[in-house]
Amino acid sequence: MSDFRPDEVVRVLYEHRVRFVLIGGLAATLHGSVHPTFDVDITPDDSPDNLARLSAALHALNARIRVDGIPDGLAFNHDATSLARMTVLNLVTRAGDLDVALHPAGVGTFVEWDANATDLVVLGVPVRVAALDDIVRSKETAGREKDRVVLPMLRVLRDRIRGRDR
């Protein structure tokens, strides 16, 4: 739909008071990864009120289901109830791709991701960012080729951070 503007995605989520943890490649980048990413990955709190706010944010972002061969994606209706039944949503928005994982591989629930997350100001917006250990565990569990490529670098980065923190 448009150029990748993660700042806009995060800003709209923040303005709609969506509780989420930033996971995936963008979160890894904030920990120091140099591997490029072209989407925003989040895991939201799955409470009905929060999912209603997420639905409103998705409307504001003009979110549509991402489908190969259909650049603008497919329209879909959503509310808190329908979002609660989802596992993963791969979306295209007016500000780039957004992946919403209600139960990401390897770590599980929002509460588990949130327990180890850090508060950072990301692109001018306060955001909960997943711990690098959780990102690594999730990518190991998912076992996708794109994750296997980046995992060695993420493990080295994790070990360097651990060494620096001692």
Task: Quote the pLDDT of residue 2.
Answer: 61
The β-bridge partners of 88 are 101
- 75 within a domain of the structure (yes/no): yes
Q: For tokens 């596992």, name the residue.
A: 87
Q: For tokens 């770590």, name the residue.
A: 107
What percent of the chain clears pLDDT 90, i.e. is strictly above it? 83
**1: which 2 tokens?**
């739909």
8 A C-beta contact, residue 96 and residue 4: yes
Query: Could you report the per-residue pLDDT of 69-122, keeping only the tens digit for each?
Result: 998 999 999 999 999 999 999 999 999 999 999 989 888 899 999 999 999 997
Domain of 126, CATH number, reads: 3.30.460
Task: Quote the pLDDT of residue 60.
Answer: 98
Q: What secondary structure, in 3-state letters, does 120-140 show? A: EEECCEEEEECCHHHHHHHHH
Q: How many domains does the chain have?
A: 1
- 51 within a domain of the structure (yes/no): yes
- 1 within a domain of the structure (yes/no): no
Q: Which domain holds residue 40?
A: 6-165
Is the per-residue pLDDT at 65 higher than 60? yes
Residues 6+ apart with CB under 8 A from 22: 10, 30, 40, 41, 42, 122, 127, 128, 129, 130
- 40 within a domain of the structure (yes/no): yes
User: Predicted confidence band at 161 (pLDDT cuts at 50, 70, 90)?
Assistant: confident
Task: Quote the pLDDT of residue 166.
Answer: 64
Whole-model pTM?
0.92
**68: which 2 tokens?**
């190969």
Task: Quote the pLDDT of residue 128.
Answer: 97
